[in-house]
Structure 1
Amino acid sequence: SPFSVLGEIVVNEVNFVRKCIATDTSQYDLWGKLVCTNFKISFITDDPMPLQKFHYKNLLLGEHDVPLTCIEQIVTVNDTKRKQKVLGPNQKLKFNPTELIIYCKDFRIVRFRFDEAGPESAKKVCLAIAHYSQPTDLQLLFAFEYVGEIYHNPAKKVNGIDPGGGGGSIGSASGQQTPLFETYSDWDREIKRTGASEWRVCSVNEGYMISTCLPEYFVVPSSLADQDLKLYSYSFIGRRMPLWSWNHPNGSALVRMANIKDVLQQRRIDQRICNAITRSHPLRSDVYKSDLDKCLPNIQEIQAAHNKLKQLCVNEPFEETEEKWLSSLENTRWLEYIRSFLKHSAELVYMMECKHVSVVLQEEEGRDLSCLAASLIQVMLDPYFRTIVGFQSLIQKEWVMAGYQFLDRCNHLKRSDKESPLFLMFLDCVWQLLEQYPAAFEFSEMYLTILYDSARISLFGTFLFNCPHQRVKESTEFAISKNIQLGDEKGLKFPCVWDWSLQFTSRDRLLFHNPLYIGKSAPCVQNGAVKTFKRSKKNYSSTLRSVPPALKNGIISEQEFLPRRNSLILKLKPDFLQQTESQSNSMEQYFRDWFAKPVDLHGVILPRISGTQIKLWKLCYFRWVPEAQINHGGSITAFHKVSLLADEVDMLNRNLRQYKSNSSLQGNCSELDQSRMYFRANSLNDTSGAPDFLSSSFPFSPVGNLCRRSILGTPLSKFLSGAKIWLSTETLANED
């Protein structure tokens, strides 16, 4: 059944609907039934999908489904009266619609025609979609309906899996769980993992007695007593006391802090906090404070840049963008802001790595820009956060538990004044690093894209709330209203997005794996014994993209190294340090030396931020645009070939272990069948080409996006395919 999710009910439907597929012809259109449920809109058809030979399968969403929380705008059209109306919740529709256009937050545009449908039925389904996609109350989101059914019917499961928890493996043999940082023990393990011996887990906020926007447990300097923390908390905005994020092996700590609102007490409290952080450092090093509000774009600027990017990629007619594509892209400022975050984070990496000082990220409330900056710094410094489980734990620690306002920033309740795509910008920044150092990350760009999509599915509690306290408060109220007995539980237990088995089969989850990733160690066999092969730090990266174009004989040109005299870090003006010419040169020398050396994939990685190095994330922003699709092209072709090679290597290793262990081949055939690659080599002699279904939008289906007329063969399509030479008008005319 297309409506198999527990708690999902059909609200309205209309038959004889035509879903438009191609832009300039109706021959590929599909006929079927348009259905609105309390979870999604669904188009049910028996017609085969044209122009498509592959589509990965989401177990929660069908091929033509759109989650209600992914809908951004609904437009109804009447051709006869030449009218159109943007539908809001509880609005009336005075004309019978002949067409419905749905604009999605992931840049999709879906279009339906009601030429053969009943006019009243078409109107009702449009109004239903508008109403259910724009709820005014948090408890009206589908996740509450789902967990209510789970608690009333505990034997039921979604896709055969129990909800909640940190999720299992995603196709790896380890099956490692993602820590959720909801308990004391998770934080304690992170302290031990990073060697932060002078820090402790604090439970002063247990039951959210101090601050409702902080987690119940967090890490503070051991020298700070609970009584002092309670006293200091009144001086911080939102009572958000300083939060420890991470410790460098040299003892430097990364700390997040909200602004101190009490002006009279500001200097005294600030000094005491900094002294406590200093005492936590083995060298008693100074503390470096970075005011993020002064040196990074604010959330309103980021939202404006995202709107311009969407307008450019989706809404603008091709004729108006073709000749000024690059300048229009620059004018969005999206890539400029990505460069700012990467640059500033790298400069703070320098402070921790080279100057051996602790860094405090200060922001007004400490729950927006600091989420992004703290996460980027840790991705650059700690290879654990470049693994799948590590990256998920990072998001859980620095975003979910630290109080990033997913409900408001993702605009689940259509309060657009608080919307800002900060989480998307973080994923884009990580993609930039992945693009520059592909062998340093365990996950693929498909994983990052699907993770972004999952934030738009209203089933998972991970990306649904503004803070952990809101989840407990709202779910407890909901449980009382539905007569659900919680027992000792703190609120309802929502499904966790890290349990990827709720969305994908084990086979499809293999797409998350990066075939270029080089783990910290790999087993090898010598004289019949399995030993560990440790790679030397002198080994060069396996990718040419990590070598800058200006690198000649180990020397980088003045234009290529990261900092400049007008670097953002010079504007921070920390209290403990007067920036001088020699200190500026010290930073420049650090980056110069780092880029001149071979890349240690298991150490620090730094971004290249020149104009050509920061790119547009095509898979995320262009995947639904049919005109931008490159059949048998794009980065997926390299992904496919490397996957086959990696699978062959894995196969050889398994065969070698099988041979050395003197076991029967039949006895361990299950091990031989194991593969971490989605694309597999059929045999060691397999030389087959790429599958027919590969395109630059893989694994997504770029159909149904009707924002433009066809641009195939035009300069923009050539640019999207990576061509460096623009075609002349005469060449285009000949191709037509």
Structure 2
Amino acid sequence: MEILRGTVAANAKPTKPSFVSYVTPEEIKSESPRPYTPKTVKCPHLLPGEVMFCSANTVVKETQDDLSQRGVFGTLLCTNFRVSFVSDEEPTEDTTQLFKNKLYGQNDIPLSCVDHIYGGYEDKRKLITTGSLVKNKCPSKLIFHCKDLRVFTFVLTYSEEKDAKMIFQGIVHHCLEPKSLKNLFAFSYCENTACPEKQRKQRTMMFDCAEDWDLDMKRSRGVCRLVTENNNFELSPDLPQFFIVPTHVTEADMCQFHGKGLPMWCWSHHSGCALFKTSTLPLLPEDTIAQAYMEKMLTAVAHNYLFSVKTEDLSDTLPTVQDIQLAYSKFKHFFLIDNTTDFWMSDMKWFSSLDSCGWLDIIRQCLQKALEVVECLETENTNVLITEESGSDLCCVISSLVQLMLDPFYRTLPGFQSLVQKEWVAGGHNFLDRCNQLHLKDKENTSPVFLLFLECVWQLLHQHAPAFQFSETYLTVLSDSIHVPVFSTFLFNTHHHRATVLRAESPHSQRDPLNCPTVWDWSVQFDCRAQDLFLNPLYTEKPKHVKSVQRSRPTHQRQLSLPTACKTPPKKGFFKDEADSLKKMLRVKRISRWMLSPETPHPSSATREFYETWQRKPLDHHGLILPCLDGPSVRVWLQRYLRWIQEVQIFGGGAVTVLGKVSELQGEVRELQRRLERHGGSSFSSSNQQQQRAIRARTGTSTGPQTGGSRSSVRMSSSFPFTTLKHNWSYKPAIPTSVLQSLMASGNLADKEDDADPESIV
């Protein structure tokens, strides 16, 4: 029978193939070798200067809901700017999306934004390093933990082995391998983009010219000296081209230690005292020259006002940059959620876990120290000199917070951007090293110091919302922009470093240096409608009649919330005549030691009295503002840390609903204002119009034809504008059965302690 079958089969004519293949042609391996032909690769719209390196088809992007096992097929690719996923099922971007970034989309990860990459090998997860390319085989999954706290999981099982290996090696090489500064995408982008010149009309002072420094000193009524001798960095490459020092600092003093230990002016109080910051010199007992130099610099600061100065070494009283890095690494771990099971397990010990990492405590310490400095300036009328080893980390944090609390100009959008430019960019904060933009293996210098400052600003904004013109969405976007390798703001360590690199990388045919955009040019990332979300709808603008009264008065233009507690200082002529005798009375004290002296109250008691005295004054959002540091007052920045976690989002609720109600009330108030202004002949101010647009943008409502109708806030989540309702997400707690049964056995979950160990629950 078998022979007959073979004979019939041999003599029979070949029939039409009846087999139907349900696999893609790419998965069919041909036996005969054929020349390689490049495949058609789906890719997003590439930016100027962006080049694609490698790609892989049939990649699955998983969702975080591990119960549904949903995923989307598409193409995973890597360029010199980002890792991008292009879906096969739907467009990569929603054309109707309100808050749309022009540089990258929701499925894109800038290379500098990649924090860690994990590989999935069967049931195990391993941290991918550059050595993994040799030691380990290609994983079946790639899990990305991003610095903006997004989590992506890509499955490579269905891709061709050659493509999967290529995309794995390409991503690890371009995301984790150390690179030189000139290889960052910013240089390719600015070479192929006609960046406009800096727009001074935006009122953001860049502090790269003498006019900006002189204008800021005149605005705060400072009496210090503007230094222009470092225009070509002849004095020191670590100093900005222009800066301000006390009038008694000579040119010889500036050259003696190449800018080290030089007191840099930050801001002047209305009474005449000022805030200074400096880097410390390694003072040895036998080094009499350095000791004499520091004493001379202290005397120069004291000469600024009342021959008094209080000093504070932040290196002794605040955590180090390494402590900040360690605390934040523990803190962010609780928000990098791979799946729903991890979330519900971490939710059982949520508050105790956040408290144990120490990040919120560091925020409280920085606000506390800034409050102490404000107290010295406001009630003691004494000059303050803050110091640390570098003078460009915690000094920038404290000096910026002090100015935010005291000066309402820095609480406006252009004022805040000017503050960052003055204290951080011109102040020489090492953005390149602290943010680890080059993925260097030596991470001792890595620390989120600037993010710590933004966290402190958010605490002030949360407690005093009407005092700030910008919104928390603005702060969140600014924290994300740190890791977008396009803007020159966060790519360099000093002004000299920036000027040298941009000129060196300029083409030979171009004499001028490269013109990289700054992060303050928000039109590079967002359109006008999206930028409306940067404005705070609750901001109360200073009335015009108050401004006019202040201009006519000879006193300082800022309005005070707390009167000074000391006597009126004598006339300046008295100090000129009695200068020799008063030098002996020079008061140089440390803030911490002064607070702890026997004749003064305990620091907490003095600060509490200062805060309660301010709190009893009439509410003034354009005067002094102070943070409340009691327990629950220091909170988690919900929008930044929880915006990507689906289980905690409130659809149709949260801040969106609150602002919707506020918009209705403000609409009624503005209608009454219009009726009153008709009789007075004045028009509706442009600032109120901007606030109205910001409210409509945040609540998703519109009355104009530009959006094509109104949109209800019910379709939006509490994390708007970063996430919107697109799927029916599951809210079922994905807790293991044994743990869930033990929790339900008691009948009341509220009786369980927050910090109880899940394994010990019976």
TM range (shorter): 0.7 to 0.9
Instruction: For 1:165 and 1:323, locate their aligned partners in 2 and report how far apart those are by CA, in whole Å.
Output: 50
Q: 1:381 aligns with which of 387, 397, 406?
A: 406
- The aligned counterpart of 1:435 is 462
Pair 1:582–1:106, CA change in 2 (3 A): closer
User: How far has the Cα of 1:355 moved from its partner?
Assistant: 0.2
- In structure 2, the residue corresponding to 1:74 is in which secondary structure? strand
Pair 1:242–1:626, CA change in 2 (3 A): same
- In structure 1, the residue corresponding to 2:429 is in which secondary structure? coil
Question: Which letter does structure 2 place at the counterpart of 1:633?
Answer: G
Q: 1:268 aligns with which of 288, 292, 304?
A: 292
- The aligned counterpart of 1:718 is none
Pair 1:586–1:700, CA change in 2 (3 A): closer
Indicate whether 1:121 and 2:163 are aligned: yes
CA contact (8 A) 1:406 1:466 kept: yes
Once the two structures are superposed, what CA deviation does each residue of 1:267-321 show, in whole Å capped at 9, x if it has no partner? 322222122222222xx24011011011111111111110111222325934643
- The aligned counterpart of 1:530 is none
- The aligned counterpart of 1:243 is 264
Structure 2 matches for 1:456-467, cutoff 5 A?
456-467=483-494
Instruction: For 1:176 and 1:12, locate their aligned partners in 2 and report how far apart those are by CA, in whole Å.
Output: 40
- In structure 2, the residue corresponding to 1:515 is in which secondary structure? coil
Pair 1:671–1:395, CA change in 2 (3 A): closer
- The aligned counterpart of 1:8 is 50
Question: Which letter does structure 2 place at the counterpart of 1:590?
Answer: F
Structure 1 window deviating more from structure 2 (88-97 vs 303-312): it is 88-97
Structure 2 matches for 1:75-224, cutoff 5 A?
75-79=118-122, 84=126, 86-88=128-130, 91-92=133-134, 94-134=136-176, 135-150=178-193, 157=194, 162-163=195-196, 165=198, 176-196=202-222, 198-224=223-249
TM-score (norm 2): 0.77
Structure 2 matches for 1:510-589, cutoff 5 A?
510-521=532-543, 572-573=592-593, 580-581=599-600, 588-589=608-609
Pair 1:457–1:256, CA change in 2 (3 A): same
- In structure 1, the residue corresponding to 2:335 is in which secondary structure? helix
User: How far has the Cα of 1:652 moved from its partner?
Assistant: 5.8
Q: Which structure exhibits the higher relative contact order, with contacts defined as CA atoms closer than 8 Å and separated by 6 or more residues? A: 1
Structure 1 window deviating more from structure 2 (628-637 vs 243-252): it is 628-637
User: How far has the Cα of 1:100 moved from its partner?
Assistant: 1.2
Q: 2:319 aligns with which of 297, 311, 329?
A: 297
Question: Which letter does structure 2 place at the counterpart of 1:358?
Answer: N
Question: Which letter does structure 2 place at the counterpart of 1:118?
Answer: E
User: How far has the Cα of 1:689 moved from its partner?
Assistant: 9.1
Instruction: For 2:98 and 2:120, locate their aligned partners in 1 and report how far apart those are by CA, in whole Å.
Output: 30
Pair 1:662–1:695, CA change in 2 (3 A): closer
CA contact (8 A) 2:651 2:725 kept: no
Question: Which letter does structure 2 place at the counterpart of 1:357?
Answer: T
Q: 1:257 aligns with which of 260, 275, 278?
A: 278
- The aligned counterpart of 2:651 is 631
Q: Percent identity?
A: 34
- The aligned counterpart of 2:87 is 45
Question: Which letter does structure 1 place at the counterpart of 2:464?
Answer: Y
Q: 2:353 aligns with which of 328, 336, 339?
A: 328
Instruction: For 2:561 and 2:370, locate their aligned partners in 1 and report how far apart those are by CA, in whole Å.
Output: 26
Question: Which letter does structure 2 place at the counterpart of 1:376?
Answer: L
Instruction: For 2:197 and 2:131, locate their aligned partners in 1 and report how far apart those are by CA, in whole Å.
Output: 31
- The aligned counterpart of 1:559 is none
Q: 1:595 aligns with which of 603, 607, 615?
A: 615
Pair 1:90–1:312, CA change in 2 (3 A): closer
CA contact (8 A) 2:59 2:74 kept: yes
Instruction: For 1:404 and 1:370, locate their aligned partners in 2 and report how far apart those are by CA, in whole Å.
Output: 10
Question: Which letter does structure 1 place at the counterpart of 2:640?
Answer: C
Instruction: For 2:116 and 2:55, locate their aligned partners in 1 and report how far apart those are by CA, in whole Å.
Output: 19
Once the two structures are superposed, what CA deviation does each residue of 1:51-92 show, in whole Å capped at 9, x if it has no partner? x99662001112211111000112232439x67451427933
CA contact (8 A) 2:715 2:724 kept: no
User: How far has the Cα of 1:513 moved from its partner?
Assistant: 0.8
- The aligned counterpart of 1:532 is none
Pair 1:594–1:22, CA change in 2 (3 A): same
Instruction: For 1:324 and 1:249, locate their aligned partners in 2 and report how far apart those are by CA, in whole Å.
Output: 48
- In structure 2, the residue corresponding to 1:101 is in which secondary structure? strand
Structure 1 window deviating more from structure 2 (181-190 vs 696-705): it is 696-705
- The aligned counterpart of 1:494 is 516
CA contact (8 A) 2:413 2:469 kept: yes
Instruction: For 1:123 and 1:12, locate their aligned partners in 2 and report how far apart those are by CA, in whole Å.
Output: 10
Structure 2 matches for 1:282-321, cutoff 5 A?
284-314=306-336, 317-318=342-343, 320-321=345-346
Pair 1:117–1:303, CA change in 2 (3 A): same
User: How far has the Cα of 1:362 moved from its partner?
Assistant: 0.6
Pair 1:495–1:611, CA change in 2 (3 A): same
Question: Which letter does structure 1 place at the counterpart of 2:720?
Answer: F
- In structure 1, the residue corresponding to 2:55 is in which secondary structure? strand
- In structure 1, the residue corresponding to 2:202 is in which secondary structure? coil
Structure 2 matches for 1:319-398, cutoff 5 A?
320-398=345-423
User: How far has the Cα of 1:604 moved from its partner?
Assistant: 0.7
Indicate whether 1:278 and 2:302 are aligned: yes
- In structure 2, the residue corresponding to 1:18 is in which secondary structure? strand
Q: Could you list the runs of 5+ residues in structure 2 that have no partner in the other structure?
A: 1-42, 547-556, 563-588, 705-709, 737-747, 753-762
CA contact (8 A) 1:318 1:709 kept: no
Instruction: For 1:204 and 1:336, locate their aligned partners in 2 and report how far apart those are by CA, in whole Å.
Output: 42
Instruction: For 2:300 and 2:560, locate their aligned partners in 1 and report how far apart those are by CA, in whole Å.
Output: 38
Indicate whether 1:622 and 2:642 are aligned: yes
Pair 1:226–1:107, CA change in 2 (3 A): same
User: How far has the Cα of 1:12 moved from its partner?
Assistant: 1.0
Instruction: For 1:655 and 1:79, locate their aligned partners in 2 and report how far apart those are by CA, in whole Å.
Output: 70
Instruction: For 1:436 and 1:245, locate their aligned partners in 2 and report how far apart those are by CA, in whole Å.
Output: 25
Structure 1 window deviating more from structure 2 (586-595 vs 631-640): it is 586-595
Question: Which letter does structure 2 place at the counterpart of 1:260?
Answer: L
Structure 1 window deviating more from structure 2 (69-78 vs 316-325): it is 316-325
Structure 1 window deviating more from structure 2 (391-400 vs 115-124): it is 115-124
Pair 1:48–1:474, CA change in 2 (3 A): same
Question: Which letter does structure 2 place at the counterpart of 1:506?
Answer: C
Structure 2 matches for 1:653-664, cutoff 5 A?
653=673, 661=681
Pair 1:641–1:163, CA change in 2 (3 A): farther
Once the two structures are superposed, what CA deviation does each residue of 1:335-394 show, in whole Å capped at 9, x if it has no partner? 111110001100110000110001101101101110101111111111111111111111
Query: Would you say how many aligned residue pairs link Structure 1 and Structure 2?
Result: 641
Structure 1 window deviating more from structure 2 (222-231 vs 350-359): it is 222-231
Structure 1 window deviating more from structure 2 (108-117 vs 331-340): it is 108-117
Question: Which letter does structure 2 place at the counterpart of 1:675?
Answer: R
- The aligned counterpart of 1:547 is none
Question: Which letter does structure 1 place at the counterpart of 2:198?
Answer: G
Give the structure with the larger helix fraction: 2
Instruction: For 1:521 and 1:108, locate their aligned partners in 2 and report how far apart those are by CA, in whole Å.
Output: 42
Once the two structures are superposed, what CA deviation does each residue of 1:152-173 show, in whole Å capped at 9, x if it has no partner? xxxxx4xxxx34525x8xxxxx
Structure 1 window deviating more from structure 2 (673-682 vs 331-340): it is 673-682
Pair 1:536–1:190, CA change in 2 (3 A): closer
Q: Could you list the runs of 5+ residues in structure 1 that have no partner in the other structure?
A: 151-156, 169-174, 525-534, 541-568, 715-724, 730-736
Instruction: For 2:713 and 2:654, locate their aligned partners in 1 and report how far apart those are by CA, in whole Å.
Output: 14
Cα RMSD between the aligned structures?
Answer: 3.7
- The aligned counterpart of 1:611 is 631
- The aligned counterpart of 1:71 is 114
CA contact (8 A) 2:280 2:388 kept: yes
Pair 1:176–1:113, CA change in 2 (3 A): same
